[in-house]
Amino acid sequence: MIPQTGPLVSPAQMPPVDQDAALGLAAFQAMDRMREALGGQLTGGISPGSLALAGFDWAFHLAQAPGKRSELLWKAGRKTGRLMAWLMSSAIDPNAPPAIQPLPGDARFRHPGWRQMPFSAFAQAFLLGQQWLHNVTHEVPGMMKHHEDVVSFAARQWLDMLSPSNNPWTNPEILARTRDTGGMNLWQGWLNWAEDAARLLNRQPPVGTDAFRPGETVAVTPGTVVFRNRLIELIQYAPATDQVRPEPVLIVPAWIMKYYILDLSPENSLIRWLVAQGFTVFAMSWRNPDARDRDLTLDDYRRLGVMAALDAVQAIVPDARVHAAGYCLGGTLLAIAAAAMGQAAGARLASLTLLAAQVDFTEPGELALFIDASQMHFLDSMMWNRGYLSDDQMAGAFQLLRSNDLVWSRMVREYLMGQRAPMTDLMAWNADSTRMPWRMHAEYLQRLYLDNELAAGRFMVEGRPAALQNIRVPIFAVGTERDHVAPWTSVFKIHQFTDAEVTFALTSGGHNAGIVSQPGHPGRRYRIGTRPRDGALLSAADWLARHEAAEGSWWPAWAAWLGARSGPPGPVPATGAPDQGCPPLGDAPGSYVFQR
């Protein structure tokens, strides 16, 4: 007989709940939350406690490491010697090779003026100092890795701010332009700054984004909204061929941004291109939540998002399995939904495509800098106060990750050089972000980033673990070489969590540009390889060494992969299914995409 377990006392014997004490405790907690929420407005959402803990960890362990301090002094002497030797060589030969080269991707010192004295000396001193500061903040004995990353990040922010390229008196390009324009560049820069400040105060989008309005110049692929609930609109795109594959494609975008990253201008729209290949394509458009949606959960996003869309697609195209594709966070949510379906996934899904999407968060990229217990509590208080995480907080975090490119270089170009960078469809989309509900985002950060429940097999859905090992349909995963949000080595880890057939493609570019990589785009390349079902697992390094890069876009390879797992082309399905609760509700791109 299985012994019965239960409370040691009966409910009648249990002491009554002290309502006054509970209300008092809630009031005390609210005081802390309000203080943190107000403090977050001054710190840009960065937890002072997180920075202080990292700084103390670094300072304490450096103080306890005489060997490390001696090493730093020795390296400072060596770098000073290298600088002095280079200065002497340059005095004799102005074309003497530099003592140090900028890091790959650092374009601050490309102008020819940086090769002339005294500007070359400014640049060389800065780059050597940058290298030494890297030594200062790394490999301090006993220091926690996360704290090392935070301290290094904070030091890099200060160093980038102090770069000679940001100073009009030490930047030869700014001085030359000021001379050539008679100082009008500085006047134009002032006007640019005033315009940007006014737009920021009035919560208007950046200059030039008005030229990229959904439904007019972007997100113009013909289609119809065929389903709507409180969280999503589902768009069914009009066919571009006389016959289509019987298996439709369902695209699950990230809820952090508007869906049309995959339907930008006609020439670089993945959705338009996929329709032209003979597929029936559906795409979800997420609603922009507000304070009224504060209690939406991560499981609500699964149920009202992925599962509701899948039900609608199969109502419109009955008796057909679906090629499901998820981008970024949408891919993570799609993987959770597929894992939660268990054995039923094979009956509903023909394949699973994960575009720059992670299922393991042990290496989550540079966003991990903003994710620890202190930062999590700070963000939670800010979201609790507003009911959501605002778009400006998210934009600020992403800009800090690439402050050299997205903050300082832009300020130099637009405010000191007086030159506006032309707006592009991708830049305009990037400025069109969405909010995230408090409870959902708190769960997402805690359960996936901090606790890594999905990879550990502890992510529960409806009382059962959503085990990735239950995904048995073929998987196509795409990583991008310069992804700072979802590093390709992290995306590659899908191999470790399933015995299904996995085709992995590694493409050039970053998190967005690597996915929006249309055929004919110059300079694109990709590698691709398939691990058969139950095949041997390679490390990311071994996989990279074994697969040669091919020129061009990865899109045709994906379309061929989908085609090989689809039936022969047949009749075009009807638009919507009114008798199944999916009537046509209006033209694409729908209404949710316009919510601010």
Instruction: Kindly list the catalytic residues.
Output: 328
**Cα–Cα distance measured from residue 479 to residue 474, given in angstroms and rounded to the nearest whole number:** 17
Residue 293: half-sphere exposure toward Cβ, Cα within 13 Å: 21
State how far the alpha carbon of 322 is from the alpha carbons of 69, 314, 392, 424, in Å: 60, 8, 36, 33
**Cα–Cα distance measured from residue 301 to residue 436, given in angstroms and rounded to the nearest whole number:** 11
- Assign 3-class secondary structure to 154-182: HHHHHHHHCCHHHCCCCCHHHHHHHHHHC
For residue 298, how many other CB atoms are within 10 A of its CB?
22
Residue 529: half-sphere exposure toward Cβ, Cα within 13 Å: 19
**Cα–Cα distance measured from residue 234 to residue 228, given in angstroms and rounded to the nearest whole number:** 6
For the chain, the first-to-last Cα distance in angstroms comes to 60
In contact, 45 and 382? CB cutoff 8 Å? yes
Phi, psi of 4 (to 5 degrees): -85, 140
Quickly tell me which residue has 């960065």 as its tokens. 46
Under the phi-then-psi rule, with left for phi > 0, alpha for psi from -120 to 50, and beta for the rest, what region is 19? alpha
Angle 226-231-236 (CA atoms, 0-180°, nearest 5)? 20
State how far the alpha carbon of 564 is from the alpha carbons of 350, 351, 440, 478, 534, in Å: 11, 11, 37, 18, 20
**Cα–Cα distance measured from residue 560 to residue 552, given in angstroms and rounded to the nearest whole number:** 15
**Cα–Cα distance measured from residue 497 to residue 459, given in angstroms and rounded to the nearest whole number:** 14
Burial of 6 (0-12, 13-18, 19+ CB in 10 A): exposed
- Assign 3-class secondary structure to 235-256: EEECCCCCCECCCCEEEECCCC
Strands 502-507 and 525-531: antiparallel
Considering only CA atoms, which of 427, 391, 508, 406 is closest in space to residue 264?
427
**Cα–Cα distance measured from residue 334 to residue 356, given in angstroms and rounded to the nearest whole number:** 13
DSSP-derived secondary structure for 23-39: HHHHHHHHHHHHHHHHH
In contact, 488 and 461? CB cutoff 8 Å? no
Quickly tell me which residue has 């600020």 as its tokens. 396
